[in-house]
Amino acid sequence: MEYLNPQYVLFAGILLLILVDFLRHSMKINKKTFMHYITAAVLGLAIVFDALYGNMDIHLFSEVPYSQFAVGFMLFISFFIYLFIISDKNEHSVAIDISYLFAVLGSTLVVLSSNLLSLFLSIELLSISSYALVYMYKSGNALEGAVKYLSTGIISMVILIFGISLIYAGAGTLSFSSLHVVSYLPFIAGVAIVIAGLGFKSTLVPFHMWAPDTYESSKSSVTAFISSVSKAAGLIAMIRIFFFALPVSSSFVTALFLSIALITIFLSAFLASVQERIKRILAYSSISQAGFAFISIAVLTTRGINAAVFYIFAFAVADAIVFLAYDMFEDKNVIYKKESGEIAAISRIGAISFFIGILSLAGFPPTIGFFGKLLIFYALFSSGYFALVILVFFALLVSTFYYFSILSEMHVVDKIMKNKNRSPIKKEQRVKEAILIVLTLSLFVGVIFA
């Protein structure tokens, strides 16, 4: 029973895949679908074990109050994104299974790390497999996106390890349980540099510049993974460090955090409203979601952390939905905002899920995006930031504007009604729509976790 944790399952799955692939090559069998089924089964099993037995709890990785929930929703989202990816008619190499499992394993380990070194290694594991995933679909300018992602990623990793070394110089330890705040200049510089390093991963302004390009140039279903699960991992790592390990509660740090969050929210809102391509709007919206989660982390209270974890869950699901739905539209060359009227003709259910996902991102009830914002405002109010909330309202208005400028172009209504006799829907589209339905339902049911 001791080893029935999702992390072990994932690792065993990876080893099994490599073994089966070796056997397959030596026996000259050309059946890749079998490998995909194994991967899906491994992910599904990991979800079950997370729900039943919780996570791995050893020296370098330990559980915190929210980790079971966080790992659970990461696995849940990755499971459906994976099903979506393999339901495509393209031929997928086995490499995608292995790198995907490595990415998922890395992101769950980020949540659990209880040592700066293990945190660094987990993020590195997640990042390297993400670079591979972005480049795996050699369509369009995937190479450009992957190279941008790789170069900024490597720089951010170097920055992160530099900050970690400064912290080690000050505190003399890397373990979260024995870390403590010391008033030693390099140590403080180290903390600031760690913020920068993790800021790259979770796309906080001013470390966000790689995100729109990479999101746009990679395949949308991969973007769904990067913008939801991988970003959630970065944000949760921030919670772990700045709330549990280094309880930095000086007014300077709070002001720094709040200003980063506010700049992220405002800048992304304004940049999103001038974009013409749907995918870039979604990319900037995803950056602003990270800002909202971070503003809730910035108050550094238990309420704020709970709100942040729930909000990360909320936007991760919604981001996965919109990017997956957009994947179906992108195949039919819907790129610009003014073309979005055609999406209902491509897939009715896809359009409706896209619509609900955007409502959730914009924070409209009764979706969980609304409840996430409710909890964030609650946390901000209970720490006494009244004026801040009013400021955030203005950013929310701008975001309402650009989200609805996509929706009002959609003409969902007319198109849904007028496309009565179309060509029969293919089986793979049925599968994709089923996945979207499940994810969309979780946007409503998720409120029980608030």
Positions touching another protein (CB under 8 A) are: 359, 364-366, 370-371, 374-375, 377-378, 381-382, 386, 389-390, 393, 396-397, 400-401, 404-405, 408, 411, 413-414, 416-417, 447-448, 450
Question: Residue 260 has which token pair?
Answer: 């980063």
Closest C-alpha to 54, from 9, 97, 17, 12: 9
Among candidate residues 327, 346, 334, 336, the one with its CA nearest the CA of residue 419: 346
Least separation in angstroms between CB 259 and another protein: 21
Supply the minimum distance, in Å, between the C-beta of residue 180 and another protein. Answer: 32
**Which residue, 184 or 449, is less far from another protein as judged by CB?**
449
Q: Per DSSP, what are the bridge partners of residue 336? A: 277
Q: How far is the CB of 103 from another protein (least distance, A)?
A: 32
Cβ-based nearer residue to another protein, 168 or 404 = 404
For the beta carbon of residue 286, count every other beta carbon within 10 angstroms: 29
Question: 427 phi and psi, to 5 degrees?
Answer: -65, -40
Beta bridge partners of 115: 175
Smallest distance from another protein to CB 377, Å: 5
Other Cβ atoms closer than 10 A to 435: 22
Choice between 103 and 396, CB closer to another protein:
396
- Rounded to whole angstroms, how far apart are CA atoms 234 and 202? 5
- C-alpha torsion 23→29→32→36, nearest 10: -50
The reply to whether omega before 365 is within 30° of 0 (cis) is no
92 vs 411, beta carbon nearer another protein = 411
Residue 87 beta carbon to another protein: minimum distance, rounded to whole angstroms: 24
| Least distance in angstroms from the C-beta of 374 to another protein | 7
Closer residue to another protein in complex, CB, 45/389: 389
CA dihedral 235, 240, 242, 243 (to 10 degrees): 120
In whole angstroms, the minimum distance from the beta carbon of 136 to another protein comes to 38
Number of H helices, E strands in the chain: 19, 0
What residue has token string 């699901």?
Answer: 317
Measured from the CB atom, the residue of 84 and 371 that comes closer to another protein is 371
Q: Give whichever of 250 and 382 is closer to another protein, judged by the CB atom.
A: 382
CA–CA distance, 154 with 145 (Å, rounded to integer): 14
Closest approach of Cβ 366 to another protein, in Å? 5
- Return the number of the residue (3 or 444) whose C-beta is nearest another protein: 444
